[in-house]
Structure 1
Amino acid sequence: MDDYAQLLAELTAAGALGEEWRGAFERAPRSAFIPDAVWAPDEDTLSGYRRITRSDEPEAWWALADADDVVVTQLDDGADDGPGIATSSASMPSLVATMLRHLDVADGHTVLDIGTGTGWTSALLSARLGDRRVTTVEIDPAVAAEAARSLAKAGFHPHRAIGDGLDGRHQEAPYDRVHSTAAVRTVPRAWVEQATPGGIIVTPWGTPYANAGLLRLVVGEPGDPAHGRFVDNVSFMWMRSQRPHRVTDFAGAPGVRSASAMDPALALNDVNAAFAIGLRVPGVRFEHRWNRADPTGTYRLHLSDGADSWASVHYDEWHTEDTVLQAGPRRLWDEIVTARSWWLKEGRPSLSRFGVTVAADGAQTVWLDVPGNVVG
């Protein structure tokens, strides 16, 4: 049994891969859609990645291709001189199987696949439903061209389009299912409008603070809202036009120093807490910073709202008077502390207790337990 067959057997035994999808995974192995050159994590490089090619390092390439892990296939939107940010990938097989299970497709369904990427997911959908029932959209022409070659070589011919997936694809609409492999902060109105009543939208969804939810949305009748819950904890690359801002530097702006009312580790140590915090602190993004000469003593959480507010808090001796530094019209660290207190007060709700409503006009609200209990 080769490595991929072993992986499928393990996913089936674990319940992640159902029999209704097993044949599609067998007919469309992920390795057929992994490009010759990929990027493997490497802490010894400035970018954090090392380029591996199938021709030069076949064993390393195959180990990545047949593993239950993400394979990075593009850095920095294809630029040669970028900072080393992963911008396209082949998703974990177990996660792909999970998302397809939540999509709940049946024979005869049509599917809009947002984010062609390597083409693997659209191949799986084509293997399950047939080429003519799958439409896939990719924003990056180079990525789309590579996927087209892989799909054709593997014998799959779904409808393909190059464009912004946020606009959907009205030419082949309506769709019984909409499946996205890129995260959104706001569900596009076009996806809802191009889906049939009772149709299902499955997409990664997050906030700048916590890109962590897998949303399963059920579309209502025309003019009615769509409702859905978060069904799993996932993290995907953002849709390009919904990418959060980069965390800004302080740039010498005056700030207010204080002690922290909370251990900063508590702001991120639980994905459910982080998800709730992200809902309560709109627009806020974080990153970790430290001085490599003294990583323990200088390690801090840096926050920015992409506008005029920022904050930082040191992990070391966080209770001392000068640990927190905040500036701008918002006190971002205070908001974080308040948001986590709210999460505790609500009984530490798990991610799956939250949901989303998309109104007919495209307005989006997030709620806890029931649609009327809006999280502001």
Structure 2
Amino acid sequence: MDQARSAEEVTDGDGYARLLSGLTKSGALADGWRGAFERAPRAVFVPEAVWAPDETSPTGHRLVTRAEEPETWWALVDADGVVVTQLDDGAEAGPGIPTSSASKPSLVASMLGHLDVTDGARVLDIGTGTGWTSALLTARLGGEAVTTVEVDPRVSEQAALRLRSAALEPARLVVGDGLAGRPESAPYDHIHSTAAVRRVPRTWIEQTRPGATIVTPWGTPYANAGLLRLVTGEPGAPSYGRFVANVSFMWMRAQRPHAVTLPPTEPDQRGPSAMDPDLALSNADVAFTIGLHVPDARYVHTWDTANPAATYRIALSDGNGSWASVRYEAWDAPDAVHQWGTRRLWDEITSARTWWDAHGRPPLTRFGLTITARGRQETWLDKPGSTVGSPRGGP
């Protein structure tokens, strides 16, 4: 069992100090946060057993324990990188999908900076995880100002032990669905989420004061790529936000995208591709844009192990009965594109890429999001009203 440790018990010397120095020099560590990071060393909140990337493993990860591989464990913890702390929601013998982690420190610092907290502010922290972000907020604002919510009871239990050991306990550590927020402690001045959403829930806006900031990863099934900074409006008025960075976080469990499995039937349509499939994923900006235009589409890559190069394909599904797949090699051949269902998903992807080119290839930071008073999401380029894609959500 993972045991809670105090800061004195886990200190590794200069590793964390070097990390903080680097964050400060790079500008990632916003004014007012250095003291909180010093009071809440990351290592206090990372479990004794973590998962390191391993291409030779069937799951893509291998277990690293502090007891058996202390140097590797410390190298992971003191680096500016993600440390995976759970696979497959904690289930045994799963496919190896990361479902909980200690986030990248520079990104944690940047997200906290985007909150623009001031003394006396009240914060709802969505996705307690290891407890590190909750500890940083507590160190900065005091425990009474912080409410944190975690959907996984086991993860929440371990975080509570670490927070108590570090004497950085939030006043309220709740097991529950973060999409529901925590109305009992509302209203909040800020909401900070470390789980990606496809739709910002109305509950978050209803539980904040006008002018509050909500910082959350936001994406589509095609591109989980945007960090949204939303400012809540007055009651009955819209809320507006912008995407301020390219990030990728694990999905909120209730908003995880559908799986992609192509149907066993012959495709309804075969033909050449009008576009090199590499152009559909050439960078995060174009993928983000395509996701806005084709918000339900999700992709995976497939191939036949007997001949990977010739059979490598991008496969797409909208989760509602339409699919497509495109071969990378000889993509303009008569049978390169296969499409099923009422939609022609690959044609939509191609059109979205053409739109991105025609509009000057905008980076994702030029896009923003409006949430209407009725909870509908509208994405736009440069300014509200310049709508991109179809509005979603709401009654």
TM-score interval (norm. to shorter): over 0.9
Q: 1:204-283 maps to which residues of 2 (within 5 A)?
A: 204-283=217-296
Offset at 1:256? 1.4
| Structure 2 residue aligned with 1:91 | 103
Whole-angstrom distance in 1 between the partners of 2:127 and 2:19: 24
| Structure 1 residue aligned with 2:3 | none
Offset at 1:254? 3.2
Q: 1:295-374 maps to which residues of 2 (within 5 A)?
A: 295-374=308-387
1:200 to 213, 217, 224: 213
**Conserved? CA contact 1:115–1:180, under 8 Å:** yes
Instruction: Please say if 1:36 is aligned against 2:48.
Output: yes
Offset at 1:358? 1.0
Q: Any idea what the Cα deviations from partners look like across 1:46-83, whole Å, max 9, x if unmatched?
A: 11110111111111111111111000000010100211
Structure 2 unmatched runs, 5+: 1-12, 390-395
Q: Any idea what the Cα deviations from partners look like across 1:199-238, whole Å, max 9, x if unmatched?
A: 0000000000000000000011111111011000000000
* Matched AA of 2:23: L
Q: Any idea what the Cα deviations from partners look like across 1:281-315, whole Å, max 9, x if unmatched?
A: 12100011112332222211111111211111111
Whole-angstrom distance in 2 between the partners of 1:72 and 1:53: 12
Q: Any idea what the Cα deviations from partners look like across 1:243-295, whole Å, max 9, x if unmatched?
A: 00011222224331111100100000121111110010121000111123322
Instruction: Please say if 1:79 is aligned against 2:101.
Output: no
User: Could you tell me the percent identity over the aligned residues?
Assistant: 64
Q: 1:53-202 maps to which residues of 2 (within 5 A)?
A: 53-158=65-170, 159-202=172-215
* Aligned residues: CA RMSD: 1.0
**Conserved? CA contact 2:23–2:106, under 8 Å:** yes
| Structure 2 residue aligned with 1:20 | 32
Deviates more, 1:363-372 or 1:137-146: 363-372
**Conserved? CA contact 2:227–2:247, under 8 Å:** yes
Whole-angstrom distance in 2 between the partners of 1:126 and 1:292: 50
* Matched AA of 1:191: W
Whole-angstrom distance in 1 between the partners of 2:71 and 2:130: 20
Instruction: Please say if 1:288 is aligned against 2:296.
Output: no
Whole-angstrom distance in 1 between the partners of 2:55 and 2:360: 39
* Matched AA of 2:93: D
Deviates more, 1:12-21 or 1:155-164: 12-21
* Matched AA of 1:261: A
Offset at 1:320? 1.3
**TM-score normalised according to structure 2 size:** 0.94
Whole-angstrom distance in 1 between the partners of 2:28 and 2:342: 47
Whole-angstrom distance in 2 between the partners of 1:292 and 1:71: 30
Deviates more, 1:287-296 or 1:353-362: 287-296
Whole-angstrom distance in 2 between the partners of 1:340 and 1:18: 36
Aligned length: 376
* Matched AA of 2:165: K
**Conserved? CA contact 2:179–2:201, under 8 Å:** yes
Q: Any idea what the Cα deviations from partners look like across 1:172-204, whole Å, max 9, x if unmatched?
A: 110000000000000010100111111000000
Whole-angstrom distance in 2 between the partners of 1:105 and 1:329: 48
**Conserved? CA contact 1:291–1:298, under 8 Å:** yes
Whole-angstrom distance in 2 between the partners of 1:243 and 1:108: 34
Whole-angstrom distance in 2 between the partners of 1:322 and 1:94: 46
Whole-angstrom distance in 2 between the partners of 1:308 and 1:70: 35
* Matched AA of 1:137: V
* Matched AA of 2:204: W
Whole-angstrom distance in 2 between the partners of 1:208 and 1:62: 34
Whole-angstrom distance in 1 between the partners of 2:102 and 2:180: 23
Whole-angstrom distance in 2 between the partners of 1:326 and 1:364: 29
Q: Aligned with 1:72: secondary structure?
A: strand
Q: Aligned with 2:213: secondary structure?
A: strand
**Conserved? CA contact 2:30–2:110, under 8 Å:** no
